Amino acid sequence: MRFGPLIDQLMEAFQCLPGVGPKSAQRMTLHLLERDRAGGELLARALERALARVGRCSRCRNLSEAQLCPICASDRRDHSVLCVVETPADVLAVEQAGGYAGLYFVLLGRLSPIDGIGPAELGLDLLAQRVRDEGVKEVILATNPTVEGEATAYFITEQLRGAGVAVSRIAHGVPLGGELEYVDGGTLQHAFQGRKPV
């Protein structure tokens, strides 16, 4: 307690952010108090408002301020294609990459029985219902290429079998700009298995 309890509490509070330890928290606190009080006030207000008003989209489970997120509510998107991802950050990554114009379904996790995360927690009944009721023609599985992500993709494939919908998995292989020499073995194996005739 060198400056007083409020400053100490603020240094403590900053450590709830990912990647922020005691040193960074101290730097952030002193920076805002000494040099950028206006920015600090904006941050406090933005944080408060977002926490109060951001919930889930009732259709795709993504973070949203309204009952339907801007993507689900848009009539410029192709409502017959559904991309299944694990987290809202994955939605952002696909959107920032561009080129995809369908809708999303956010699992908010992956199948992980030890952590008590089963099909119900991932909203897979809602997914099946959307596929059934909304004229979905293709489901693209974009879960991560980890053991749990693959298991989740497999589970969803099985679940949607017979629903009359095309199910595909995004391609895994050598990333653009990657050099074979530096690519790991698993990725290379995937790249060979997933080869396409030219």
Q: Which residues bind its own copies (CB under 8 A)?
A: 1-7, 9-10, 12-14, 16-19, 24, 26-34, 36-37, 39-44, 46-51, 53-54, 62-66, 69-71, 87-89, 91-92, 95, 108
Give the shortest CB-181-to-its own copies separation in angstroms. Answer: 27
Give the shortest CB-174-to-its own copies separation in angstroms. Answer: 23
Closest CA relative to residue 128, chosen from 91, 167, 90? 167
HSE-CB of 74 using CA atoms within 13 angstroms: 11
Give the shortest CB-148-to-its own copies separation in angstroms. Answer: 17
**Tokens standing for residue 79:** 């409502």
Give the shortest CB-86-to-its own copies separation in angstroms. Answer: 11
Residue 149, classed as helix, strand or coil, is helix
Per the DSSP assignment, residues forming a β-bridge with 117 are 112
Contacts of 118 (CB under 8 A, 6+ apart): 111
Q: Which is nearer to its own copies, 11 or 140 (CB)?
A: 11
Contact 155, 169 (CB under 8 A): no
Q: Which is nearer to its own copies, 69 or 131 (CB)?
A: 69
Q: Which is nearer to its own copies, 49 or 132 (CB)?
A: 49
Give the shortest CB-11-to-its own copies separation in angstroms. Answer: 9
Contacts of 71 (CB under 8 A, 6+ apart): 60, 62, 77, 91, 95, 103, 104
Q: How far is CA 34 from CA 16, 115, 194, in A?
A: 22, 44, 56
Q: Which is nearer to its own copies, 3 or 192 (CB)?
A: 3
Q: Label the pairing between strands 138-141 and 166-169.
A: parallel
Q: Which is nearer to its own copies, 30 or 183 (CB)?
A: 30
Give the shortest CB-68-to-its own copies separation in angstroms. Answer: 11
Q: Which is nearer to its own copies, 5 or 177 (CB)?
A: 5
